[in-house]
Amino acid sequence: MNEIPNLTYITKLSNGNKSFEKSLLNIIKKELPREVEAYQLHLHDGDFIKIAEDVHKINHKIKILGLEKGCKIAEKYRMGLSEKSLKLKTDFEGILTSMLLFIERV
C-alpha cells in the first residue's frame, strides 16, 4: 500500500474550524488503538463475526484519514471474513500500522 494517511478529509469536513479538527483527531487518537486491540483479540480468538465488525468500525477512521484505497481494501477484507478468509489480512494490517504511526505524529 502506497497511500499515506492525511488530514485532507478532516480539513474539508471542518470547513476551517480548527477546534473541530483537533477534537476529531483526539477522538481518533483515543479510539483507534482500542479498536485495533479489539481486532487483534478477536483475530487471536478466531471470531470472524467480531473481526468483521471491528474492520467495519475501523474502516470509518480509514476514510477519515484520507485512505481511499485503504477503504476499499478494508471493505473487501470484511466481506472475505464472512467466508472465513484472511486473504487481505496483511494489507489491512499494513493500513492499521500506517494509521497508528500517523496519529502518533499529529
> Model confidence over 24-52: pLDDT tens digits?
999 999 999 999 999 999 999 999 999 99
Domain boundaries, the chain: 8-105
| CA-to-CA dists, residue 47 to 8, 44, 102, angstroms | 34, 8, 28
Q: Which of 15, 23, 18, 89 is nearest to 55 (CA)?
A: 89
Q: Are 95 and 35 in contact (CB under 8 A)?
A: no
Q: Which residues contact 1 (CB under 8 A, 6 or more apart)?
A: 69, 70, 73, 91, 94, 95, 98
- Cell 479538527 -> residue: 21
Q: What is the pLDDT of residues 80-95, one digit of tens each?
A: 999 999 999 999 999 9
pTM as predicted: 0.93
